[in-house]
Chains A and B, each alone.
Chain A
Amino acid sequence: MAQQQGAYYVPHGSKWPIVGAVGMFAFMWGAAHWINGNELEGHISIAIGAAIILTMLFGWFGTVIRESNGGTYNKQVDLSFRLGMMWFIFSEVMFFAAFFGALFYTRGLSVPWLGGEGHGAITNYYLWRGYTAAWPTNGPLDIGGAFHTIPAWGVPLLNTLILLSSGVTITVAHHALKAGYRKQLLVFLGFTILLGVSFLWFQAHEYIEAYTHLNLTLHSGIYGSTFFMLTGFHGLHVTLGTIMLIVIWLRCAKGDFSKDSHFGFEAVAWYWHFVDIVWVMLFLFVYVL
């Protein structure tokens, strides 16, 4: 696949982008139907959409991996991929920022206003008399009923340690990859996957505990809303990250990556560190403080 020295690389056309767009449409169409109570149409359309999206992911990544292994890409393409991944992670950061913003705004401003602080005094007197601001809260009308929160120094602390360790193990794996220690690479990447899975296992355990024993649910007013949406979206990202790690492990086992060309590995590592940092923020602002 010789390329003229200094020439740019432009990939050939591909059916996967439009296949992906069709899949996303079917998925969203189904999701909207399902949410509106048309269960059957919804489920069918969601399933079709998900199947198309999965096919697209396999097909598209497969093409890219084949092209990459065939030596089609040059340093410039590599940098484009890097820029793409960096800015994608930045967009993810901003998505979480919206939910953190909701948490800080309600905790810092609107809940105290409901309790009568500042210009909220009259509202509090006429609408929510007797409500005193506190955190955690499910609001003046006690939406969802009394609940307990999950203590920070139990499972959440454990999960913090798990994710921080996984950050270490993936870094060790990366060094092993760069040094060419194949066995060490597979072992430490394997550790990272196990840590990711155990994080998810503990998180699921924590959710079950919250729903069955603590009466802490998505319905538990603003505390339940921010708690579950933040930790839930984070958990979703850990799930995606774990799947990505498994794919990367398989590719490492196949010997897809070389010492100096393994952007796929690095992209997953960046993503994993991002998920890690979001968790540290969550631990601090959702559980500890």
Chain B
Amino acid sequence: MATHAATHDDHDAKPSFAQRWLFTTNHKDIGTLYLVFSLIMFFIGGSMAMIIRAELFEPGLQLVQPYFFNEMTTMHALVMIFGAVMPAFVGLANWMIPLMVGAPDMALPRLNNWSFWILPFAFVLLLSTLFMPGGAPAAGWVMYPPLVLQSGESLAFTIFAIHLMGISSIMGAINIIATILNLRAPGMDLLKMPLFVWTWLITAFLLIAVMPVLAGAVTMLLTDKFFGTSFFNAAGGGDPLLYQHIFWFFGHPEVYIMILPAFGIISEIIPTFSRKPLFGYKPMVYATASIAFLSFIVWAHHMFTVGLPLGGLLFFMYATMLISVPTGVKVFNWVTTMWKGSITFETPMLFAVAFVILFTIGGFSGVMLALVPADFQYHNTYFVVAHFHYVLVSGAVFAIMAAVYYWIPKWTGHMYSERWGRIHFWNSVIAVNVLFFPQHFLGLAGMPRRIPDYNVAFADWNMVSSIGGFWFGLSQLIFVGNIVYTVYFARQKASARVWEGARGLEWTVPSPAPHHTFEVPPVIMPGMLAHDDVSH
């Protein structure tokens, strides 16, 4: 163990609760803060989804007013994207990246604390709009003008909240890049890094590249509404479509920001429980980079029906379909990793396998949506809703849950309840399909999204979908229960390696991981890394 520099001796004295959690520079504490915040937001956003599904349980208006319904769809998306999924991945990155690369902490620990503490305040700003005259933003999370410019007091609050979230994300991403590029232990070459680290490196690049663009887009909304500019006003020579272009230049890479770390997690879990090294490590890295590159040149596939020139439609259609190549490489490699492995199905592996299957379904419907003539039919229907919930819920969210089950023994030193983990999994995986699969049918039959009432022809599948929704929502209480159990009540101690097939530096430190790890760079021994024989 290193002798501490005199300046941080106060780590060893027991800090007060406030000192520990408010002023912390410890990546594990900050990771925990992110994860807890994300879980709270997951339930806030989830309750909004429950309101949506309750209203859609039957045709007609039963529970809420249409405007409030629109507030719910808008806020559900903003809360889930910026409050639940992104902070969860940043929390996992905080906990695991320093452990995985053999670093003592993140490269810029105080900046790290700042990135986190901006978030709760940003969400106070955003959620406060629910109680304002005129209500919360209701023009969809994409905030298209001119509709969004008709918002009441909420618009300015929403825009400033997004600015704060962007600042938080950018600083978090800078920190992750600096950590990965600068704090790797000697011998942890770039092409020996765990896939989770690789996918986060690329995700962080995407974040820094596109969050400022979103800031620019919403700033233009702000000046158009309050300061008399004409960016999105055709009468002044602007163009409402300009907003959509800028927004989706952010928005499409944003989609990959929410899935690339999930790819990384799945690429950690599947080899562990298949007891085989990851098949095609380098192709996985290159595929991730290709997906990130392509994400910058496909944005207009969100805008096929707005009246783009034909050349534009063709370019964005083909570019979009190209993404299925590197994504296909990934799915192929995951399946091939499992091939002839001696597989066991603990909860993380169950979620990982479900991820591969269900994410692929979301990928297929994505290819369907990429076809311009087909998209003319699907656009703005429930088919789109089904598509992105397959990739985001049974994709990103399942990966996060897999990650929590996979790493919580390392975090707490205790095993979660495998029995309740499996109960949580089976309820979730069945419910998520009951919830979202019928939405494909609804969409293909022509039911538009973002409406509180619908034709009676859509009644049956909506009821099925709503039942699935409540079921999925309730199942997540099991998840919380299992986490609380593991943290406070579990008896069964976890070993340092936790999982028989686990490889990598994070498994060389004891469970629970001590408050400070790798204060001196670890000496990497043969067989410690998962990918130390990639060169041949």
Q: Which A residues are closer than 8 A to B by beta carbons?
A: 1-4, 6-18, 20-22, 24-25, 28-29, 31-32, 35-36, 60, 67, 72, 76, 79-81, 83-84, 87-88, 90-92, 94-95, 97-99, 101-102, 105-106, 110-111, 113-114, 118-119, 127-128, 137-141, 143-144, 217-219, 221-226, 228-229
Contact = CB atoms under 8 A, between A and B. Distances in A.
Contacts of A223: 237
A87 B208 contact: yes
Contacts of B307: 119
Main SS class of interface, B: helix
Contacts of A21: 114, 117-118, 121
B292 to A, nearest CB: 15
Given A8-B519, A12-B25, A225 B238 contact: yes
B160 A222 contact: no
Interface residues of B, number: 89
B318 interface: no
A105 B109 CA distance: 40
B291 to A, nearest CB: 19
Given A3-B5, A13-B25, A222-B236, A28 B226 contact: no
Nearest to B23: A13
Contacts of B161: 28
A267 to B, nearest CB: 13
Given A18-B117, A36-B156, A91-B212, A106 B23 contact: no
Contacts of A32: 125, 153, 156-157, 160
A123 B239 CA distance: 13
B246 interface: yes
Contacts of A229: 219-220, 223, 229
Contacts of A15: 22-23
Contacts of A228: 229
17 contacts: A4-B3, A4-B520, A8-B104, A10-B104, A15-B23, A24-B118, A32-B125, A84-B174, A84-B175, A91-B170, A91-B209, A92-B212, A105-B239, A110-B234, A110-B242, A139-B230, A225-B238
Interface string B199-238: 0000000001111110111011011101111110111111
A219 B140 CA distance: 27
Given A72-B7, A225-B230, A99 B216 contact: yes
A225 B108 contact: no
B208 A94 contact: yes
Contacts of A3: 2-3, 5
B359 interface: no
A29 B462 CA distance: 40
A14 B25 contact: yes
Interface stretch (B177-185, B331-339, B384-392): B177-185
